Structure 1
Amino acid sequence: MSADRFAIIDLAALYMRGLDRLDGALLEAQFWPDARCEYGVFSGGPADFAAFCMEMLKEHRRNHHMLGQHLIDFVSEDEAFGEVYYQAYHRVFDHSGAPRDLFIAGRYVDRYERRAGAWKIAYRSELVDWVRDDPASDAIVGVTPFIMGERKPADPLYNREAMR
């Protein structure tokens, strides 16, 4: 079952990449088409959820999701339940245009199904455990020559030729 466990863990990582790189197709692909998504601010299917996220996140300057512990309970060879801890950072702007750092931390409660040999999310619910909203505090970014993460397709992740 270790290959199955890694396949499910990859779903979470690819889900986060879809959010951070604003890649709606990648985000949607982590779910079965008939999956249910329950987020409080959204309830529905994966196609509508991906569109909702892309619309909401496009106003952010940056997004960064970090995964924590990932617990998976296999109840059969084709079904598992999981809990995934996350912490999400969002560069947002207040009503005056001032940058803010919004942090949200919580857990995803999932049900996964394997169909035709592939694991995907069949149900996902986001639980929020804490939120923090502070004035932006990254002035060093403007004076230090960091390579900054970007959205698809500008992010260096998508330029494999440059890595050769």
Structure 2
Amino acid sequence: MTEAQLAQGFDFAAELRDLAARRDIAEAAHRYMRGLDRLDPVLQRRAFHDDAVVDCGLMKGTADEFVAFCQDFLGTMEATHHLLGQHRIEIVGDSASGEAYFQAWHGVRDEGGAVRDLFIAGRYLDQYACRDGEWRITARLLVTDWVKDDPGSLDFFAANPGAVRGGRRGADPSQSGVRS
């Protein structure tokens, strides 16, 4: 702590609360993303408070309805990979708002069965609340900024059958206890 901060009456406890809140909000976002990619509805649902509402454009509803929608929709795809970018958070007491950038790859097939790489990028505009000491999402609006749909290829995996692939529904190496 600098002398200037001490002279201004720096509130160390308030700074720690702010940092802990940001950590916990980020952890909620991480649970959400991991729940999507691993097709783990329990983990995804733990990102939201019970009264949360979500509008993703394709559907609007409760957290339970949204999680069921995501798990069903993403479950039709061969794989997904969601990545979080910058995350702006503004905290006021036990409430917060935020904007998190994301990019998501979806392994899909077209009507003829050909492999496609569907990329979607956008932002989550979120409201958060701390209840019973736990920060979770209370409202989410998914904003889509761009989409790209390209022919895909599984040639790498065919040429490298020993490559460890990500799995879903409990079959991922991070979930099965298999580590290198």
Aligned-residue Cα RMSD (Å) equals 1.2
TM-score (norm 2): 0.87
Contact 1:21 1:150 in 2 (8 A): yes
Q: List runs of 5+ in structure 2 lacking aligned partners.
A: 1-17
TM-score relative to the length of structure 1: 0.95
- CA-to-aligned-CA distance 1:54-113 (integer Å, 9 cap, x gap): 11111100100011001100122x000000000000000101111100000000000000
Q: 1:39 aligns with which of 33, 42, 56?
A: 56
- Percent identity over the alignment is 44
**Would you say how many aligned residue pairs link Structure 1 and Structure 2?**
162
Aligned residue number for residue 140 of structure 2: 124
1:1-164 alignment to 2 at 5 Å?
A: 1-76=18-93, 78-144=94-160, 145-160=162-177, 162-163=178-179
SS of equivalent residue, structure 2 residue 64: helix
CA offsets 1:128-161 (integer angstroms, 9 cap, x no match)? 000000000341121122100000211111123x
Alignment check: 8 A CA contact 1:66 1:87 kept: yes
CA contact (8 A) 1:35 1:123 kept: yes
Q: Which runs of 4+ in 1 moved over 6 A?
A: none
Q: Is the 8 A contact 1:37 1:123 kept in 2?
A: yes
Q: Rg: which structure is higher?
A: 2
